[in-house]
């Protein structure tokens, strides 16, 4: 069995097997007089309430319990319990691969407990609402690393604050962006070898929608009225102010083609005029009925798309310059061609090919949720969970113990060579949660790992930021450790996966793979039961067919002539007739049972060659060679059936062995009270 096939089988097994459903929501009940022991399996008692709870949860049709179904269920339940017990006895629950696999499932199942679904839902609705609009904004950036010292942070903040005040008093946003913004795209860039001068955008970021910008910036853009200046925004890049210059209905996604005439190489007004004249000449040709693809191939300066008729990849509003986006947004009909427009790159004629507007909330919810979970905004959900954990378990901080680490910190943290022995013996708690204390030494080890991935920054800021992350992860880990004890549904689902993996692996070893690999055992089983795998009456025949009537009729005459002399030689017929692929005649020789092939079913089951007929656009005739009497199938012919039966045989033997190995007792009186 291939590894991929094995994985698929296990996935299906864990999801759908009826035996696994026996495990669902196991809940151990108090064993008192009201909850008698129904059975004891391999020394482990099973109470009446436990068994009923499982049975009723799996009785999905809600049928009344009857003796037959209950007795069958009892047997399945016992068999399952015995197999799991055998796996435990063999130590399969201690094998590294098992522990790793179960840990992977646990990590997936635990994720839902580590997010605040209410917060996530609000973020989904917020993102969907924002996706209905496209915002155009300009910004000014003053860079400031998140790990900057308080002095450097204050200096950057005061600088952006001063720019905001100047703009509010009437200075040009664009002029200040060009002169002072740390976003270099705001200012003109001088020409370089093989590159013309690039005109700055004055801070204009063009259009964007939800998920196109970092979350704090996006929030400021959507919350600032058109024409207004935002408050100061802090992102991972530094401090920003932005000006919203337009808000419009969302374009969604579009696919378009363009014919492009560049103006970046235009040295003077004469060149610019020539470019304008050229694009309008092309436009007139289009209006006169000229072929779009041909004009694009001949005239477009976009050499990447010109050979394909100017077709651009799908794009959203943040992928094209604003003038291009505005024109595409205004185009209503698929196939519409725009008048020539200019962008900073040159002249364009645009042809709208397809458009996908934002879908309904129902249609887009799953995609939005996935984006939310991958985006920094997901931290809001995580933070909410952390705050709830702190409140639930009584979080306590010890700032003095945390700050005691600061004198021991130095720049070697950033090179990964900080001497952790400096913190040896520092076991005072920096925080506590429930019955768990988080020590200075644990924080120091976390600090040493975290600092390696950061640029050099103020050590006080590093300690504060790392401590916050340490506390968040510690709280989540603490909650994770409590999942089995606090959430019965999680505990029971984990038991389902645990026992399911054990059951699959042991059954695979004892039954499924063994039946495939044990060739001698399979052959012996087949020889003992070969009469169970019989062919019925069959017909050995040749079907000669083709789409050309004349060719098939030629083949028929040749076949008749050959058969009069002895036997049919399909190779000889093929070599004479199949010189032209368009007139090919095909031959199919096989042994057919009733129902295998309708042409065979409609042919007399008597030796001979039968006349040419037509069916579903093909001409054919049949040469019946002989009728075959019923006979056993060979092992290769029946391998699938034999293997399945051998597996059933192996499982039956295995169950008998387990029943003899482990004692099973059923309290008939208690079982009768269930019926």
As a whole number of angstroms, the distance between CA 339 and CA 352 comes to: 12
The whole-number average pLDDT for the span 31-54 is 82
Is-contact 254 334, C-beta < 8 A? Answer: no
Of the ranges 9-13, 485-489, 562-566, 591-595, which one carries the lowest mean pLDDT score? 9-13
The predicted structure's pLDDT at residue 5: 54
Percent of the chain with pLDDT over 70: 92
The predicted structure's pLDDT at residue 49: 84
pLDDT of 502 over the 50 cut: yes
pLDDT of 352 over the 50 cut: yes
- Take residue 12 and report the two structure tokens written for it: 């299906």
pLDDT of 608 over the 50 cut: yes
DSSP per position, 472-486: HHHHHHHHHHTHHHH
pLDDT of 32 over the 70 cut: no
The predicted structure's pLDDT at residue 271: 76
pLDDT of 217 over the 80 cut: yes
Is-contact 100 673, C-beta < 8 A? Answer: no
pLDDT of 2 over the 80 cut: no
pLDDT of 20 over the 60 cut: no
H helical segments located in 90-141: 96-110, 117-130
As a whole number of angstroms, the distance between CA 192 and CA 513 comes to: 67
The predicted structure's pLDDT at residue 106: 96
The predicted structure's pLDDT at residue 23: 39
pLDDT of 12 over the 60 cut: no
The predicted structure's pLDDT at residue 559: 95
pLDDT of 30 over the 90 cut: no
The whole-number average pLDDT for the span 10-27 is 46
Query: Which residue shows structure tokens 């034999």?
Result: 642
Spatial CB neighbours of 85, under 8 Å, sequence gap ≥ 6 = 41, 42, 44, 658, 662
Please write the tens of the pLDDT for every residue from 103-156. Answer: 999 999 999 999 999 999 999 999 999 999 999 999 999 999 888 888 999 999
549-565 vs 570-577: helix crossing angle, rounded to 10? 150
The predicted structure's pLDDT at residue 25: 37
């Amino acid at each position: 069995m291939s590894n991929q096939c094995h994985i698929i089988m296990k996935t299906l097994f864990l999801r759908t097997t009826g035996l696994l459903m026996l495990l669902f929501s196991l809940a151990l009940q108090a064993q008192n007089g009201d909850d008698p022991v129904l059975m004891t399996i391999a020394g482990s008692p099973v109470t009446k309430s436990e068994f009923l709870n499982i049975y009723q949860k799996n009785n999905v049709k809600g049928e009344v319990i009857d003796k037959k179904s209950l007795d069958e269920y009892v047997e399945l339940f016992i068999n399952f319990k015995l197999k799991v017990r055998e796996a435990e006895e063999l130590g399969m629950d201690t094998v590294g691969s098992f522990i790793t696999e179960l840990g992977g499932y646990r990590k997936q199942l635990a994720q839902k407990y580590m997010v605040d679904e209410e917060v996530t839902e609000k973020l989904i609705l917020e993102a969907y609402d924002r996706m209905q609009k496209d915002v155009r904004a300009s910004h000014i950036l003053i860079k400031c690393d998140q790990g900057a010292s308080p002095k450097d942070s204050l200096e950057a903040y005061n600088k952006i604050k001063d720019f905001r005040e100047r703009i509010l008093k009437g200075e040009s946003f664009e002029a200040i962006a060009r002169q002072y913004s740390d976003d270099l795209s705001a200012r003109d860039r001088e020409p370089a070898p093989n590159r013309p001068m690039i005109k700055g955008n004055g801070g204009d970021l063009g259009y964007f929608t939800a998920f196109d910008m970092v979350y704090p910036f996006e929030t400021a853009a959507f919350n600032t009225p058109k024409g207004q200046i935002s408050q100061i925004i802090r992102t991972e890049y530094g401090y920003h102010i932005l000006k919203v210059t337009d808000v419009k209905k969302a374009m969604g996604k579009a696919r378009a083609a363009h014919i492009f005439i560049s103006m970046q190489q235009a040295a003077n007004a004469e060149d610019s005029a020539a470019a304008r004249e050229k694009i309008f000449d092309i436009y007139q040709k289009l209006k006169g009925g000229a072929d779009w693809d041909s004009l694009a191939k001949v005239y477009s300066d976009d050499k990447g798309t010109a050979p394909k008729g100017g077709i651009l990849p799908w794009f959203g509003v943040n992928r094209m310059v604003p003038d291009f986006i505005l024109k595409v947004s205004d185009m209503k009909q698929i196939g519409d061609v725009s008048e020539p427009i200019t962008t900073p790159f040159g002249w364009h004629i645009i042809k709208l090919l397809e458009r996908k507007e934002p879908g309904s909330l129902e249609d887009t919810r799953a995609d939005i949720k996935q984006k939310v979970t991958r985006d920094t905004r997901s931290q809001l959900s995580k933070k909410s969970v952390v705050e709830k954990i702190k409140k639930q378990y009584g979080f306590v901080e010890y700032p003095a113990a945390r700050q005691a680490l600061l004198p021991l910190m130095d720049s070697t943290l950033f090179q990964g060579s900080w001497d952790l022995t400096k913190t040896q013996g520092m076991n005072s708690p920096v925080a506590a949660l429930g019955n768990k204390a988080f020590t200075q030494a644990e924080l120091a080890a976390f600090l040493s790992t975290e600092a390696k991935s950061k640029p050099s920054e103020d050590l006080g800021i590093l300690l504060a930021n790392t401590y916050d992350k340490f506390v968040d992860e510690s709280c989540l880990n603490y909650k994770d450790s409590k999942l089995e004890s606090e959430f019965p549904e999680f505990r029971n689902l984990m038991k389902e996966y645990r026992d399911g993996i054990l059951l699959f692996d042991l059954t695979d070893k004892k039954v499924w793979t063994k039946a495939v690999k044990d060739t001698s055992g399979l052959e012996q089983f087949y020889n003992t039961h070969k009469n169970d795998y019989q062919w019925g009456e069959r017909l050995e025949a040749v079907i000669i067919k083709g789409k050309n009537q004349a060719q098939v009729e030629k083949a028929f005459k040749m076949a008749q002539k050959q058969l009069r002399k002895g036997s049919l030689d399909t190779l000889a017929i093929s070599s004479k007739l199949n010189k032209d692929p368009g007139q090919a005649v095909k031959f199919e020789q096989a042994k057919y049972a009733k129902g295998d092939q309708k042409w065979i079913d409609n042919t007399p089951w008597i030796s001979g060659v039968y006349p040419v007929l037509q069916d579903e656009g093909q001409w054919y005739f049949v040469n019946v060679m002989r009728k075959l009497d019923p006979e056993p199938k060979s092992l290769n012919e029946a391998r699938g059936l034999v293997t399945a039966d051998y597996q059933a045989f192996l499982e039956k033997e295995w169950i008998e062995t387990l029943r003899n190995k482990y004692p099973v007792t059923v309290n008939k009186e208690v079982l009768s009270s269930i019926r």
